[in-house]
Amino acid sequence: MNAKGTLLRAGALALMLHPSLAAAGEIEYRLMPYLWTSGIHADIGPPARPTSADVSFGDYVGFIDAGAAFVFEAEGDRWSFSSDVLWVKLSQDVDLRAGTADFENEQLILELAVGYRPQGWKEARILGGVRYIDMDTTIRFRDPLEVGIGQDWADPFVGLEWRPRRDKWEYLLEGDIGGGVDADFTWSFIVGGAYHFSDRYAVTAAYRFVDSEFEDSEFVFDGRLEGLLIGLIIKF
């Protein structure tokens, strides 16, 4: 099964589960646009000659052309559904001996997850979902020669979420492991908190870490993305 096929099946399953979520009682919907100051620390590129990338968010923030990042959640008493989308496009002119080349890079991370709270669990849920990663790099020379490299992959994951609420403060600890379909192994965690300054709005800050080990005959990505996440929660 290819990466996009895995993603489509996960999305279809989430749509099938929504009626069960709605029938279970009142649902709280959340939309959270966010900024993730992620750096990349990975071996990336052709398997024969991967490049060791150690780039902080501050190193490439000036090369960001466009980007979007948000989380959408539907949470009931027992069941929950969440989708997390992060997309960023970077570009830079690179000086070479033969002239200048245009460097473009696009990154997409999409996570779909379903949560279930067993009987007696008050603040924790079991999670199951799929994480899709797409990385594409294009180098355009003045010839006009164009070189493209990249790949996309999707893998299931299982995890746990602990989200206690104490008055206006809400805390989050979430971790998961996966892989075995496209990537050899993946794991991630997020730890942080949110302050609810009204019934509808909250601000949140967290530390997010995503690690993936992927390799095929054309492309390898073995490393991590990590950094501080800052967002605004809108409830409706």
Domains with residue ranges and CATH for the chain: 3-235 (2.40.128.90)
What pTM did the predictor assign?
Answer: 0.86
pLDDT of residue 203: 98
List, in sequence order, every beta strand (DSSP E) within the chain: 28-45, 51-55, 64-75, 79-96, 99-116, 124-140, 146-162, 165-166, 169-178, 185-196, 201-215, 220-235
pLDDT of residue 13: 56
Distance (Å, whole) CA 44 – CA 40:
10
**Residue numbers of the chain with a pLDDT score lower than 70:** 1-25, 93-101, 141-145
pLDDT of residue 77: 86
Residue type, 57: F
pLDDT of residue 205: 98
Contact 225, 39 (CB under 8 A): yes
pLDDT of residue 1: 46
Torsion, Cα of 174, 179, 185, 188 (10° steps): -20
Contact 65, 12 (CB under 8 A): no
Backbone angles phi, psi at 108, to 5 degrees: -135, 125
